[in-house]
Structure 1
Amino acid sequence: MNDDPGRLPFLGKQPPSAFELRRIVLAPGFSADYDESEWRDAIVVVEQGEFEAEGLDGGRRRFGRGDVLWLADLPLRVLRNPGRAAAVLVAVSRRHRDPDAGLPGAPPPRLAGEHQGLR
């Protein structure tokens, strides 16, 4: 059972071996061009802070703690943290496999920000 209603139950735990969990920290003022391949096959949860997604049309949408997102295949230009505190995103995706070797392959490309594996 989840004792803290503000915390999602899978955060802070290791996912099953078929899944990969990435923690992305966007420092205050950090901005990066959107790269769809970094978010492919991932469900993203805002664990802390807020971040902003800017569309190709210039429109912006802000997301905050507890929001659950799918950031793949979207008409986005930039992801940024306009706030004064770090934004922490947790992305859960299936592990990618090398079809030739049958072994886990290299993970998908990473955002230029800071990434930390959860323990």
Structure 2
Amino acid sequence: MSRFGRRRIEIGPGESRPHVEDEWRGVLVIVEEGEIELRCHAGGNRRFAEGTVLWFTGLNLRAVHNPGSGPAVIVGISRPDTGS
């Protein structure tokens, strides 16, 4: 029986994590704790709170930023690699 892949990433207060498009292809992202801000190459920003489900692919993102005073945790859920 296949299981879904799960990856947990913690971003410290005021820190940013550079966005790498290939890293998030086919992955659903859940804001598990805190708040994140998606920063685009064009200069736009958008905040998302705990419980939000996102898709990072195709958004022209530059970085994922934690604007809060506590840690932000995102969890990526992906299908297992079937080799096809």
Q: Same fold (TM over 0.5)?
A: yes
Paired residue type of 2:59: L
Rounded to whole Å, the distance in 2 between the matches of 1:35 and 1:19 is: 21
Alpha-carbon offset, residue 97 of structure 1: 4.7
**C-alpha RMSD of the superposition:** 1.6
Unaligned runs of 5+ in 1: 1-15, 100-119
Give the TM-score normalised by the residue count of structure 1: 0.64
Superposition map of 1:1-119 within 5 A: 17-98=2-83
Identical-residue share of aligned pairs (%): 45
Cα distance in 1 for residues equivalent to 2:81 and 2:13: 31
Partner amino acid for 1:53?
L
Where does the alignment leave 5 or more consecutive residues of structure 2 unmatched? none
Structure 2 distance, partners of 1:79, 1:86, is 13
Question: How many correspondences in the alignment?
Answer: 84
Comparing 16-25 and 35-44, the one that deviates more: 16-25
Q: Per chain length, whose mean CA-contact separation is higher, i.e. which structure has more relative contact order (CA < 8 Å, sep 6+)?
A: 2
Q: Which has the larger radius of gyration?
A: 1
Q: CA deviation at 1:17?
A: 2.8
Matched residues in 2 for 1:96 and 1:36: separation?
Answer: 18
